[in-house]
Structure 1
Amino acid sequence: MTGTGAALTYTTIAGRHRHEIEVRRSRFIAVLERVESQEQADALLAALRREFHDARHHCSAILIGANREVQRANDDGEPSGTAGAPMLEALTRRETADGRTDLSDVAAVVVRYFGGILLGAGGLVRAYSGSVSQALDTAQYVQRERCGVFQVSAPHATAGRLENDLRGAGLTVRGTTYQPSQVLITVAVADSSAELEVFRERLAGMTAGAADAAHVGCEWVDRV
Structure 2
Amino acid sequence: MPSTLAHPVHSELIIKKSRFIGCVQPVANRADALCVVEALWRSHPGARHVCWALMAGGHSAAVDDGEPGGTAGRPMLDVLRHQDLDGVLATVVRYFGGVKLGAGGLVRAYTDSVAQALLGADKVPLCRMQALACEVPYAAEGVVRRELAAVGAVQLVVHHGSQVQFDFSVPEHVAPGLVARLSDATQGRIGWRKAAEAA
TM-score bracket, normalised by the shorter chain, equals 0.7 to 0.9
Aligned residues: 193
Residues 149 and 167 of structure 1: CA distance in aligned 2, closer, same or farther (over 3 Å): closer
State the Cα distance separating 1:184 from its structure 2 match: 5.6
Q: Please say if residues 173 and 185 of structure 1, whose CA atoms lie closer than 8 Å, have aligned partners that are also in contact.
A: no
State the Cα distance separating 1:182 from its structure 2 match: 9.1
Moved more, 49-58 or 191-200: 191-200
Residues 178 and 52 of structure 1: CA distance in aligned 2, closer, same or farther (over 3 Å): farther
Q: Identify the residue that residue 147 of structure 1 maps to in structure 2.
A: 130
CA distance in 1 between counterparts of 2:6 and 2:73 reads 21
State the Cα distance separating 1:54 from its structure 2 match: 2.5
Q: Does 1:93 align with 2:119?
A: no
Q: Does 1:47 align with 2:39?
A: yes
Residues 194 and 41 of structure 1: CA distance in aligned 2, closer, same or farther (over 3 Å): same
Moved more, 27-36 or 83-92: 27-36
Amino acid at match of 1:119: L
Amino acid at match of 2:111: S
State the Cα distance separating 1:127 from its structure 2 match: 1.0
Q: Identify the residue that residue 92 of structure 2 maps to in structure 1.
A: 110
State the Cα distance separating 1:188 from its structure 2 match: 1.9
CA distance in 2 between counterparts of 1:142 and 1:200 reads 30
Which SS does the other structure have where 1:187 is aligned?
A: strand
Residues 146 and 177 of structure 1: CA distance in aligned 2, closer, same or farther (over 3 Å): closer
Alpha-carbon RMSD across the aligned residues, in angstroms, is 3.4
1:63 to 47, 55, 67: 55
Q: Please say if residues 147 and 178 of structure 2, whose CA atoms lie closer than 8 Å, have aligned partners that are also in contact.
A: no
1:32 to 13, 24, 41: 24
Amino acid at match of 1:196: V
1:83 to 72, 77, 82: 72
Normalising by structure 2, we get a TM-score of: 0.74
Amino acid at match of 1:59: C
Residues 153 and 84 of structure 1: CA distance in aligned 2, closer, same or farther (over 3 Å): same
State the Cα distance separating 1:119 from its structure 2 match: 2.5
Residues 201 and 44 of structure 1: CA distance in aligned 2, closer, same or farther (over 3 Å): farther
Percent identical? 34
1:73 to 62, 66, 70: 62
